Structure 1
Amino acid sequence: MNLEIPDGLGDLLRDFTVAVLRDRPPDIYDFAVGYFTKVRENRRPKSVPMYVIVDDDDDAAEPDKDNFKPKCQRLNRYGRRQSVSAERYDPEEDESDDEQKTVHSKTDEQRERLTEAVSGILLFRSLELEQMQDVLDAMFETVVNVGDYVIRQGDDGDNFYVIDSGKYDVYVNINGEQKKVHTFEEKGSFGELALLYNMPRSASVVAVTKGSLWAMDRNSFRRIVLKSAFKKRKMYEELLENVPILKSLEHYERSNLADALMSKTFKDGECIIRQGDEADGMFFLEKGVIKVSIINPDGVEEELGKHQKGKYFGELALIENQPRSANVYATSDVKVAFLERESFERLLGPCLDIMKRNSDMYKQYAEQYPLKSRCD
């Protein structure tokens, strides 16, 4: 049979691992029942992976990029790998600093190709600009030929890979028979599960054509991706705890919401929401000051008020399924946490009644003064 890995399985298992590490339940089986029951009820969206346990050994040292070959090619193909002793990784206790950064020099052309290759990788979605620069610095290029095993099922995880070019087949050993379960062509990433879960490689990846890959060693992956994701979740949980409408959410639901948020920045004077635009999500004000205004029938823009950290906006259009009814500008350098429409609908059901009451002012004003113009 053709075994397909279900979409979302990796995210589901990663999130469960995070919940176990955070709550440290006395009975993991009872905790699992409650956890997955809530997941089913909330039908939570995919989220950026949070901190989990990964392993650490001497093989994770900085590779020689000039003589690099995928680890499976450096092993005796008939020899049995010995188990590697792993240590528990807690990002809250990780005090590593910038001096431990791994930097592989690159030409301008290589850096441009790498930037393009990582642009759509979900794992990097929550990273800030500075952290993305760390990702670019830490990755190194390796070329593979037809038939090369990039990773081999059962090996220990050493690197995370992003495809720059080429075609790659994914195989899983089922009852002694190799079954092809997926094909990557010219884009994609793989190898993160073994690093995230302190487990052997769960599949083999073989080059079908000559190609180029970008690799990141385990230590850099852990420091940049896991620690940054943990810090992001902690920061957003603290932000959301101070939002009055979210008091009705359970801690677990608030954590799910924190996972779904994305950071966005706006410069002083920039229009964040345009009156009349289709709503794509809502915003939580993380830093800075915003101004809310609306265009009256005479084409004059009237200010409704200003807001600072802890306020939220943009929810009315989502609740009413209508275009934006007001303009929102940054009146200083502003940083917001953005929640997409799909995540809003799945995660904020318990808060909708409160949001509707708080949004009456905007709705009544919009009905009194129909839309005539938009901000530039």
Structure 2
Amino acid sequence: MNFEIPPGLTDLLQEFTVAVLRSRPSNLESFAADYFNNLNQKVNGVPKGIGLRFQDGVSNKDEHDHTSQSGTDDEEPAPPPSRDRRKSVSAERYDPEADDDQDYVKVINPKSDEQRKRLNDAIKHILLFRSLDQEQMQEVLDAMFEKAVKPGHEIITQGDDGDNFYVIDSGKYDIYVNVDSKNRKLVGNYTDEGFFGELALMYNMPRAATIVAASDGIVWGLDRQTFRRIVLKTAFNKRKKYEKLIEGCDMLKSLDMYERMNVCDALTSQTFKDQERIIAQGDKADCMYFVEEGQVRVAMVNKKNGADPKATTEKEISRVGPGGFFGELALVTRKPRAASVYAIGPTKCAILDVHAFERLMGPCMDIMKRNIDNYESQLTTIFGGKTNISDLR
């Protein structure tokens, strides 16, 4: 049976997809309902904002917020891409699973020590680069090129196909979204930091906004091929690896697939030596851990009433192996660490920092709170008598 695609459907779905990828909503169904209701109101002349982020590449909530003082939380959905955008060599789809790197040629743009230092400072907080190993990071740094801009210079244009990814070194940059074929609206800005342009490269979509220099400044560019072959492919492989790690985690089964993918993207890896202390009892909590390889032991010093307050003898509480997790308790209770954790042999853990935890783990909170009762029952058996977690801090 043949079906005719209604005019405008492809553009409509593409624009909705870009909005989802930019906003990363925790509830996709609710976001979709708001998005299309708002779009319908706009078509009928009654615009109403739904809190979208328009720029072609903004950092997550746990990175710096680069919107203007007026904010973009009440902006309308971005209009469909311009149909007369220039033809670009980036229109081909990139498949990160395909083993087609034999044609890839490393790009090296020479830099002085001073340039390299500025570049390092500019990219050190970019989440996209966190999953790169040292060799990959060096290759990205080698490939990036410096570009000086003057006020009014249009760095990327809404509707164009993507050519480069950009990191800001210095200067102020305005973010515009087209209102119609002749007018555009200022929806935010960057000042001396930030990045943009990755969405068009990652998802083979046209530029979702126009970025214009509002002052003298410097940006660092990374060509499309290098970005895709290194940054995109590494991020894809990282997601696949962590998908397998967390798919067996009972706590995360309350998350939908989209939410689990966000958790995968936020994880970073760290290795520990045999007997190295990963968490110290009494310390402030800043992250939770998932065990990738190896094993850890959880130990506590009993500091409850009646015990020697200077006691230092620890009792082993439990052990956690691959696929298990620890460190979430202090993040749930917002209290210091209740136990110490040590590596047993070489151990590798995936780490979810406190900001990502608070942003992504809301649907799991009830499960984690129920786990507190299980922990306390276990402690009562080990230490004797009714034992609360708060007694052991």
Q: TM-score, normalization: structure 2?
A: 0.67
Q: Does 1:257 align with 2:270?
A: no
Q: Contact conserved, 2:329 with 2:368, CA < 8 A, in 1?
A: no
Can you list the C-alpha shifts for 1:131-156, whole angstroms capped at 9, x where unaligned?
Answer: 33332222111222333222233332
Equivalent residue for 1:81?
86
* C-alpha distance in structure 2 between counterparts of 1:202 and 1:128, whole Å: 30
Residues 1:199 and 2:215 aligned together: no
Alignment equivalent of 2:349, drawn from 336, 340, 347: 336
CA distance in 1, matches of 2:206, 2:104: 30
1:281: which partner in 2?
287
- Which structure 2 residue ranges, 5 or more long, are not aligned? 1-16, 34-58, 63-83, 303-307
Q: Distance in 1 between matches of 2:156 and 2:254?
A: 46
Give the alignment partner of residue 314 of structure 2, picking from 301, 312, 315: 301
Partner of residue 150, structure 1 = 155
Q: Distance in 2 between matches of 1:369 and 1:189?
A: 43
The CA RMSD measured in Å over matched residues stands at 3.7
Q: Percent identity?
A: 49
Check the 8 A contact 1:150/1:204 in 2, yes or no. Answer: yes
* Correspondence 1:359 to 2:375: yes
- Which residue does 2:329 correspond to in 1? 316
Aligned with residue 110 of structure 1, among 112, 115, 118: 115
In the alignment, the residues of structure 2 paired with residue 174 and residue 34 of structure 1 have an alpha-carbon distance, to the nearest angstrom, of 25
Q: Deviations over 1:202-247 (max 9, x none)?
A: 3322223222111001111112222111111111111123335555
User: Which residue number corresponds to residue 187 of structure 2?
Assistant: 181
CA contact (8 A) 1:326 1:362 kept: no
State the match for 1:19 in structure 2: none
In the alignment, the residues of structure 2 paired with residue 10 and residue 282 of structure 1 have an alpha-carbon distance, to the nearest angstrom, of 30
Give me the TM-score of the superposition, normalised by structure 1.
0.70
Measured against aligned partners, the alpha-carbon deviations of 1:257-278 in whole angstroms (never above 9, x if no partner) come to: 3334232333444422121123
> Aligned to 1:137, which of 134, 142, 150?
142
Partner Cα separation in structure 2 for residue 173 and residue 14 of structure 1:
17
Which residue of structure 2 lines up, in the alignment, with residue 12 of structure 1? Answer: 20
Q: CA deviation at 1:189?
A: 1.0
| CA distance in 1 between partners of 2:141 and 2:290 (Å) | 29
Partner of 1:73: none
* Aligned CA distance change for structure 1 residues 256 and 197 (closer, same or farther; 3 Å): closer
Instruction: Give the aligned partner of residue 169 of structure 1.
Output: 174
Aligned: 1:122 with 2:127: yes
3-state DSSP of counterpart to 2:240: helix
Shift of 1:80: 7.1
Change (3 A) 1:318 1:208: closer
Aligned to 2:232: 226
Give the letter for the 1:237 counterpart. E
**In structure 2, C-alpha distance between the alignment counterparts of 1:363 and 1:315, rounded to whole Å:** 17
Gaps of 5+ in 1: 1-8, 17-31, 38-44, 49-78
Tell me which residue corresponds to 1:64: none
**Residue type at the aligned position of 1:316:** L
Superimposed CA distance per residue, residues 105-160 of structure 1 (whole angstroms, 9 cap, x where no aligned partner): 32222221111101122332443444333322221112223332222333321101
Match of 1:159 in 2: 164
CA 1:349/1:371 → structure 2, altered by over 3 Å: closer, same or farther?
Answer: closer
Which residue of 2 is the match for residue 190 of structure 1?
196
Query: Does the residue aligned with 2:101 lie in a helix, a strand or coil?
Result: coil
Residue 34 to residue 231, structure 1, CA distance change in 2 (3 Å): farther
Deviation per CA, 1:74-123: give whole Å up to 9, x if none.
xxxxx973465832222122442696433333222222111110112233
Query: Secondary structure at 2:91's aligned position in 1?
Result: coil
Judged with a 3 Å threshold, the aligned counterparts in structure 2 of structure 1 residues 160 and 251 are, in CA distance, closer, same or farther, namely: closer
